[in-house]
Amino acid sequence: MENGGGGSLEARIEQLLAVEKQMRQGSDVSGTKKAVSDILNLCFEANAWKTLNDQIVLLSKRRGQLKQAVTAMVQQAMQYIDQTPDLETRIELIKTLNSVAAGKIYVEIERARLVKKLAKIKEEQGQIAEAADLMQEVAVETFGAMAKTEKIAFILEQVRLCLERDDYVRAQILSRKISPRVFDADTSKEKKKPKEGESIVEEAPADIPSLLELKRIYYELMIRYYSHNNDYLEICRCYKSIYEIPSVKENPQQWTPVLRKICWYLVLSPHDPMQSSLLNATLEDKNLSEIPQFRLLLKQLVTMEVIQWTALWNTFKDDFDNEKNILGGSLGEKAAEDLRQRIIEHNIIVVSKYYSRITLQRLAELLCLSIPEAEKYLSDMVVSKSLVAKIDRPMGIASFQTTKDSNDILNSWATNLEKLLDLVEKSCHQIHKETMVHKAALRA
């Protein structure tokens, strides 16, 4: 059809190009836009896709071409993309429009959408690296007129493609372009009308998810990123943020698997103040009573008692294995090994609370380990500064006492003395008050 009736098509295009030239030279915006639109329509109706591409390039390069005409042309041609007869024609049209929009600020949003379409096609063809490279060329965070949700969706797509190609460094850099606080913005407030001089923000396309849906996508991508490094505490915080989404919190079918994951990753996280704070906050959650076995698991960790690893593993092994069938997938290859390590670390902390000195033989018995293993775990915790300890290897004794220097001893002595004098002063005041009250009563 492209060749059939080509002469008449070319003649009609020539007529319209003459009209377009006249309108452009007269700076008639609406007239130029109409002439450009008519040329594109002619090519589209005749199914002359090659001619359409040629005309788009030709019109964009004409001397003194109006910005409004280029914008209208790009927007109109974008509507034809989904109606192309085959994939090759579609790619060619997208590339043509992309080359026209490149470097033009007034069509930067259209170019971003074009790049996204092209990247999706590349990904479907299995060319993930090319799709990721294409997406990274566009810095949407600088687009003032683009809707916030569309910007976030675009950056999230950049992050996802980087994760697909195992480029974790770039995925982290791109993810930092999104501040997690942006998801907590109140969307219920009415949109203010832009003041004079302010740039008008375009409406996001219909296929862009809402802010809360984007929040979930963001944290799911961050879970994938942190899973690569086995950063359990950060994964737990991501699940915590998903758990706080209203649509999740209102539906038990959705929050139950998420809360299970929060509990597991809390147990897998190394002991530190942040982990302890999250652990206690989770224990206070009323929803935890719906999954009592996990409440029991967390309760064991906050109780200063030695946990028998074999008994704990026998109790929770089925739940641990079943996690891979639940939303969010399995806990990772190293998870079972790390869980055992966390229980051992918990037990060492408990021992350090109750003992100032202990033989390595007794420590190994309490931890259900051999003496070299107990020594290794204790040494690792000292290196990571989780606790203070010294091992006397010839004597076979571990000491949990911290040596105080003379300044610390003097300071503690001065503090104790100050507390004692304060107590004496309060006592004297109370005695004096009682005496005065008693005298007043006698006089009366």
pLDDT tens for 299-320 read 888 888 888 888 888 888 888 8
Give the model confidence (pLDDT) of 37-49 as tens digits: 888 888 888 888 8
Mean pLDDT of the region 292-299: 86
Strand partners, 359: 397
pLDDT at 3 over 70: no
Contacting residues for 311 by C-beta, under 8 A, at least 6 apart: none
Position 19 scores a pLDDT of 85
Query: 303 and 348 in contact (C-beta within 8 Å)?
Result: no
Order of strands across the sheet that contains 357-359: 357-359, 397-399, 390-392
Q: Are 163 and 225 in contact (CB under 8 A)?
A: yes
Contact 382, 307 (CB under 8 A): no
Q: What is the distance between the alpha carbons of residues 28 and 122, in angstroms, rounded to a whole number?
A: 40
Dist CA 161 CA 172 (whole Å): 12
Taking 3-state DSSP, the helix, strand and coil percentages for the chain, each rounded to the nearest 5, stand at 70, 0, 25
The span from the CA of 329 to the CA of 257, in Å, is 10
Lowest-confidence region among 158-162, 200-204, 336-340: 200-204
Q: Assign residue 220 a region: left if phi > 0, alpha if psi is -120 to 50, beta otherwise?
A: alpha
What long-range pairs does 129-138 form, CB within 8 A, spacing at least 24?
A: 129/165, 131/161, 132/158, 132/161, 132/162, 132/164, 132/165, 132/167, 135/161, 136/162, 136/170, 136/174, 138/111, 138/112
HSE-up of 356 (CA within 13 Å, CB side)? 3
Please state, in angstroms and rounded to a whole number, the distance separating the CA atoms of residues 162 and 159.
5
What predicted TM-score, i.e. pTM, was given to this entire model?
Answer: 0.78
Helices (H), 323-403: 335-354, 360-367, 371-383
Q: Are 107 and 138 in contact (CB under 8 A)?
A: no
